[in-house]
Chain A
């Protein structure tokens, strides 16, 4: 089955710095890719959903890059601020069952 590897497990940056989180996946037929943010004790907040036909998406303060050739998905917070401190998870969906396979998560700390 699908396997998703996420790096790094922990990331600490200064306010204003960029923060990059990367996931690699194994199933070349994977079609939908997600980035979620989870604050302590809270549920998952969808940051972005990416389709296989899209390579770069820009959100508010972040960019998502999908490289299908390398089976790599990345999240780049361009100018991090303390409110970005949270756990971030990538996920890949199975188009047949809807099952999401998550990465192990990255705990991001943004210091003032």
Chain B
């Protein structure tokens, strides 16, 4: 079936540097999401995005985080500056709408901040 692609699959970065996680959502999907999963723990909602705007963000979505989807290309999550506690797996998801809630998840980007 249709897939959500996440690039890169792994990223190691020095604390304080900027990182951009890229998500190529399913082509006709309109809603986009980022979730964070610390190793061995639950998936936690970060943010969702529709029509060029953030719909809702959680308390985990710190001021250092930002999302955008310029010109219908990748849906990106940028962290600037990174902190050690940002080390986690970040999953992107997309859906056609909200009412039917059919989500497609990517395979995740494993981010390690050192």
Contact = CB atoms under 8 A, between A and B. Distances in A.
Given A97-B55, A99-B33, A105-B41, A44 B95 contact: no
A96 B98 contact: yes
Contact of B56 (A97, A102, A103): A97
B103 interface: yes
A31 B91 CA distance: 23
B102 interface: yes
Interface string A70-104: 00000000000000000001010101111111111
13 contacts: A44-B43, A44-B105, A93-B98, A97-B56, A98-B48, A98-B98, A99-B45, A100-B33, A100-B35, A101-B45, A102-B44, A102-B45, A104-B42
Interface in B80-114: 91, 93, 95, 98-99, 101-103, 105-108
B105 to A, nearest CB: 5
A44 B33 contact: no
Interface of B: 31, 33, 35, 41-45, 48, 55-56, 91, 93, 95, 98-99, 101-103, 105-108
Contact of B42 (A31, A49, A98, A103): A103
Contact of A99 (B41, B48, B107, B108): B48
A3 to B, nearest CB: 12
B56 A49 contact: no
A96 B33 CA distance: 14
B99 A95 contact: yes
B9 to A, nearest CB: 10
Interface residues of A, number: 21
B109 to A, nearest CB: 11
Nearest to B50: A98
Contacts of A46: 103
A78 to B, nearest CB: 25
B48 A43 contact: no
Contacts of A100: 33, 35, 43, 45, 93, 103
B107 A42 contact: yes
